[in-house]
Amino acid sequence: MEIEEQDVHCSTERKSHHSDKMKSNLLTRLNRIEGQIRGVKGMIERDTYCDDVLTQLSAIQSALNSVGKLLLEGHMRSCVVERIQEGELEVIDELLVTVKKLMK
The tally of CA atoms less than 13 A away on the side-chain side of residue 55 is 6
Local confidence band at 12 (pLDDT 50, 70, 90 cut-offs):
low
Q: Strand, helix or coil at 89? A: coil
Q: Measuring CA to CA, how many Å separate 72 from each of 55, 65, 95?
A: 26, 10, 9
* Residue 102 and residue 68 in contact, taking contact as beta carbons nearer than 8 Å: yes
Output 14 or 41, whichever has higher pLDDT. Answer: 41
Q: How far is CA 95 from the centre of its chain?
A: 14
- Summarised one tens digit per residue, pLDDT across range 47-95 is 999 999 999 999 999 999 999 999 999 999 989 999 999 999 999 999 9
The pLDDT assigned to 16 comes to 76
Instruction: Sketch out the chain's domains with CATH numbers.
Output: 17-102 (1.20.58.1000)
Query: Is residue 27 predicted with pLDDT exceeding 60?
Result: yes
